[in-house]
Amino acid sequence: MTGRHSLEFFAATSGPARPGTAQPLMAEPTGLEPTSVVVIGGGIAGLVTAWEVARAGRAVTLFEATSSVGGCIARHRVADLDLDAGAESFAIATRAVLDLIDDLGLSSRVVSPNPAGAWVRHARGSAPLPTDSLLGIPAHPLAGDVRRVLGPIGATRAALDLLLPRRVGGTAATLGGMVTRRMGRTVVKRLVEPVAGGVYSTDPDELELDSAQPALRAAVSRTGSLATAVRRLRATSARPGSAVAGLTGGLYTLVEALRADLERLGGLVLTDTAVRAAAQAADGWRVLVGDDQVGADDVVLAVPGADISRILALVDVDVPPTAAVTNTVRLVTLVVEHPALDAHPRGTGILVSRHASGVAAKALTHATAKWAWLAQAAGPGRHVLRLSYGRGDDDLPSDLVGTALRDASVLLGVDLDRSHLIDSDVIGWTSALPRPQPGHRAAMATLKGQIAQQPGLHLTGSMVDGTGLAAVITGARTAATRLLSVTTQADGPRPADR
């Protein structure tokens, strides 16, 4: 039976699902053993959910369509160095990531970056990024490092935030709208826009405020100003000092430890295995994998929005269009040798405003300046530079390595060409980064409500839980807790455990 006919048979035998109604499928799954829980998607959300389920003693099978798990946390080898191919640090405003690291026994490997910090490049030049800020929003608008970026007029306008009525900006839908009304456009163009572009690959005027920073609106309402709200939110950070941390050896080691412990607990991880559809059955769920089906009591979706629509084509769930709005990002890694880079001319890197001319990159990380362990691994004179491209609405250059060398020269003030290049690699991330526009949060709440009406169906991931490792881990652990709570309350044995 071909895959196409298998899918048609699956659909024909299932019929349209209705909330709370089991639909008939094939009498027995073929080829794959039934399991208690199926997790679809092997990114960090899927891995954490599966791991929590396995820790609770449930049988779990995780399906990942690509050749590796971890999603945007991955590794690649460049110039004989094992490097992060995606995310290389995590926010420490909450303990979400640190708690997971503790649970996996990796606490001794947590490291802080070089305190020199990053720079920002805008239309008028480059300057160190103010240290006391949140998404570029300054906590102290008249501080010297803020005035250096904004200029005296821009800084004075930003400081008016402290005098404005607390209701100003309270109804703003976007991050850019809130900051503009309270601190002015100069703050948006020179600070918030390059930071938001680096984190979310989108313009702050299109970025939904409540998705980017869910606590910010309420904090402004409580404190009366945006600057004070930023100070309060930063004061709750899990660790003082830098707002981020990393792991010695690379953040990808977190994924490797997570998978290893999941498998130690009996969890089954199948890569290069795409799930084609899922539907309710008389005794739980059936999941179509290739030409086979696997039975399960619970199904967890931890995939991009476009995949959810396809997988749940037989289920009474309407996936909103905003779920499929994602970004394409390219990360160029350069390993170069140039003595001028030993001085770390732009600290740990530089965030680039879209209004800055002559540069296509949206950010550059001087990784060997940022992480002491990596500088030691690279050896004297060798430097690792990471440049990212793609803001959601622009075309990517065809020769990314050549473009990255030119951009690095401009951003770092050091002439770099192919004679300085030891090795390079280009990694593409497609449909992995949601772009939350106004209305996204409400649409995701509606989607989660529909999913909750389907017994045994669960949803997690950055699309619904928010961008950033902390938000994704929190969402995954919450999804696992709910799944296990429903199981505990159910009467009688679970079908897959009989």
What does the pLDDT look like over 244-303, one tens digit per residue? 999 999 999 999 999 999 999 999 999 999 999 999 998 899 999 988 899 999 999 999
With contact defined as beta carbons under 8 Å apart, do 102 and 176 qualify?
Answer: no
Q: Listing from the earlier edge strand, what are the strands of the sheet with 119-122?
A: 125-128, 119-122, 349-352, 363-366, 382-389, 326-337, 421-434
> What is the distance between the alpha carbons of residues 360 and 351, in angstroms, rounded to a whole number?
12
CA proximity to 469, closest of 87, 136, 198 = 87
Sites in the chain below the pLDDT cut of 70? 1-32, 236-242, 323-326, 392-394, 431-434, 487-498
User: In this structure, what token pair is assigned to residue 181?
Assistant: 């009304």
| Token couple for 128 | 């160190």
Q: Between β-strands 326-337 and 421-434, what pairing exists: parallel, antiparallel or unpaired?
A: antiparallel
For tokens 């794959």, the residue is: 32
Distance of CA 266 to CAs 65, 66, 71, 74, Å? 20, 21, 22, 23
Residues 213 and 83: their CA atoms lie apart, in Å, by: 29
Helices H, strands E: what count in the chain?
A: 18, 21
In degrees and rounded to multiples of 5, residue 228 shows phi and psi of -65, -35
DSSP summary character for residue 265 = T
User: What is the predicted pLDDT for the residue at 492?
Assistant: 43
Instruction: For residue 355, give the 3-state DSSP assignment.
Output: coil
Contact 305, 463 (CB under 8 A): yes
Q: Going by DSSP bridges, is the β-strand pair 244-247/90-91 parallel, antiparallel, or unpaired? A: antiparallel
- Token pair 């089954």: residue: 268
Q: What is the pLDDT of residue 398?
A: 83
Closest-CA residue to 249 (of 12, 422, 82, 100)? 82
CA distances from 432 to 50, 73, 237, 305 (A): 19, 11, 27, 10
What is the set of domains in the chain, with CATH numbers? 3-70+250-322+438-497 (3.50.50.60), 125-235 (1.10.3110.10), 326-434 (3.90.660.20)
Contact between 43 and 477 under an 8 Å Cβ cutoff? The reply is no
234 exposed, middle or buried (CB, 10 Å; 0-12, 13-18, 19+)?
middle
For residue 25, the SS3 value is coil
Longest dimension (CA), the chain: 74
Predicted model pTM: 0.88
What token pair was written down for 497?
Answer: 């455990």
pLDDT of residue 431: 57
Strands (E) across 342-419 are located at 349-352, 363-366, 382-389
What pLDDT score does 393 carry? 59
In the prediction, which pLDDT does 29 show? 44
Show the tokens assigned to 343. Answer: 């001085």
Q: Please, are residues 142 and 155 in contact by the beta-carbon 8 Å criterion?
A: yes
Tell me, letter by letter, the H, E, C secondary structure of 70-134.
ECCCCEEEECCEEEECCCCCEECCCCHHHHHHHHCCCHHHEECCCCCCCEEEECCEEEECCCCEE
pLDDT given for residue 237 in this prediction: 55
Closest CA to 497 of 286, 267, 297, 342: 297
